[in-house]
Structure 1
Amino acid sequence: MQTPFIHNHQFNYIQKQADFLLKTLRSVVDRKVLETVRYTVGTNAVGIFDELTPEQKQLLEQLSTYDTAHELQSYLNRLEAHLIPFPQVSAKQIQKLFPKAKKLKLPDLETVDYAHTTYLRWTDIATNRLFIVYPYEEKFLGIEGRITATNKKGYCMFCNRHQELGFFNVKTKGHSPDNFASIGQYVCVDSTACNHSITDISMLEKFLLSTVK
């Protein structure tokens, strides 16, 4: 069995490349344009990885060879077997990440689609508190803050997807123990859709790390 090598955000990126190829196949008849697009999507799929075995590289390059929606979907279905799932996390581990939340409402961990999760997130509706658990350098980061519905659409900072937004405000330590600051960003209200759309983790990590300094 081959070792999984694709993270969720990378799979989402490959899926977008497949969508781009399919759209081109349906709208363009110029052979040179099609060849250019095929080369581009294959190169892009490979380019988001730092290291690949020859077999992994060959598998990713296959993306550029398909002609129909059915073939592309079958290919993506096969790629799912190579996904690296979100690390298993227990309720006790989550509770330790949020020691100040005495009545912490935990997510239903049994229903989480770990293969398609980049960051674990849930909202305590009673308090409008948003909780995020993210694996970083072989440990988990735990971030919490207030989420306020904006009732408007825009681009989420985490996934850069145009969708219904909430304003996520996180308190951070200031220059002294009694001094607090806050950092806020607009993020998707729908956490599942955000995880299915994120293709780059740089902005997510930048925000999360800025709140734990």
Structure 2
Amino acid sequence: MLTPFMENHEYNLIKRLVGRLEYNIKTTADQKVIAAIRHTTWTRVIEMFPAATEEQKRFFDRIPTLNRAEEFQAYLSELEQYVTAFPQVTEQQLKKLFPKVKKLKLPPLAELNFRFLTYIGWTDISTNKLFIVYNLDGKMTGIEGRFTPTNKKGVCCLCNKHEEVAFVTAQTKAKGSALDHFGRVGNYMCIDSAKCNQNITDVFQLERFMKDVLN
């Protein structure tokens, strides 16, 4: 068995690509088209892991051979085993990430499946705050922002899916400014971080937002 080697967002993307392949096999009669889609799917997955080991490559080489529904289901079930879990954190560690927040409302850590987390996100409706914790450049990092519910669906900037979103604004110290001079950055994000973690396939926007806040 392979040891875990992919992150949650990579797992989500592979799952989406393999799911599209299965759908096309079911709905497309032209075998040449199916063959092309098989190759494209395999290529996209392989390109995600340029440093893949031979064993990992052999696992991905099975993708173009999948045909029946039970084969796809078995492959995706096996895929889950190779996801690297989000680093375990304690309530005390979370409190240290937000030292200025009095009476910090904490997420239900015992209920989280850390294997399928790209980031930990939660809201405090009493203060209209959204908290995000992410392993940024190898360091556990936290940011907070105020959220304004839109009460409708929109495109989340983090996962790029159409979900219930809120407009999130976070305070940021302006570069080269005095200590008391702050700016703000904002964007639309999923109000349900669990759903966002299921959808996210790239961490670029998440990391950019956090770096904009942290400067």
TM-score normalized by structure 1?
0.97
Percent identity, please: 44
1:80 aligns with 2:63: no
Counterparts of 1:41-60 in structure 2, within 5 Å, are 41-60=41-60
Partner of 1:196: 198
Partner of 2:180: 178
Q: Secondary structure at the match of 1:100?
A: coil
1:10 aligns with 2:25: no
Asked if structure 2 preserves the Cα contact closer than 8 Å seen for 1:163 and 1:188, the reply is: yes
Distance 2:9 2:103 in 1: 32
Q: Secondary structure at the match of 1:199?
A: coil
What displacement does 1:160 show? 0.3
Distance 2:96 2:195 in 1: 27
Q: Secondary structure at the match of 2:196?
A: helix
Counterparts of 1:1-213 in structure 2, within 5 Å, are 2-174=2-174, 175-213=177-215
Distance 1:73 1:101 in 2: 44
1:17-39 superposed Cα distances (whole Å, 9 cap, x missing partner): 11110111111111111110011
Asked if structure 2 preserves the Cα contact closer than 8 Å seen for 1:43 and 1:61, the reply is: no
* RMSD between superposed Cα atoms in Å: 1.1
Distance 2:14 2:114 in 1: 18
Letter in 1 for 2:131: F
Letter in 2 for 1:121: G
Q: Secondary structure at the match of 1:82?
A: coil
Distance 2:69 2:148 in 1: 39
Distance 1:82 1:181 in 2: 41
Distance 1:50 1:136 in 2: 21
Distance 1:134 1:160 in 2: 18
Distance 2:116 2:94 in 1: 19
Asked if structure 2 preserves the Cα contact closer than 8 Å seen for 1:45 and 1:61, the reply is: no
What displacement does 1:142 show? 0.5
Distance 2:50 2:91 in 1: 33
Distance 1:170 1:57 in 2: 41
1:51-82 superposed Cα distances (whole Å, 9 cap, x missing partner): 11001011022122111222112101101111
Distance 2:64 2:7 in 1: 20
TM-score normalized by structure 2?
0.96
Distance 1:176 1:61 in 2: 56
1:130-163 superposed Cα distances (whole Å, 9 cap, x missing partner): 1000002221110001111011222110000011
Letter in 2 for 1:10: E
Q: Secondary structure at the match of 2:62?
A: helix
User: 4+ residue stretches of structure 1 with deviation over 6 A?
Assistant: none
What displacement does 1:50 show? 3.3
Asked if structure 2 preserves the Cα contact closer than 8 Å seen for 1:158 and 1:204, the reply is: yes
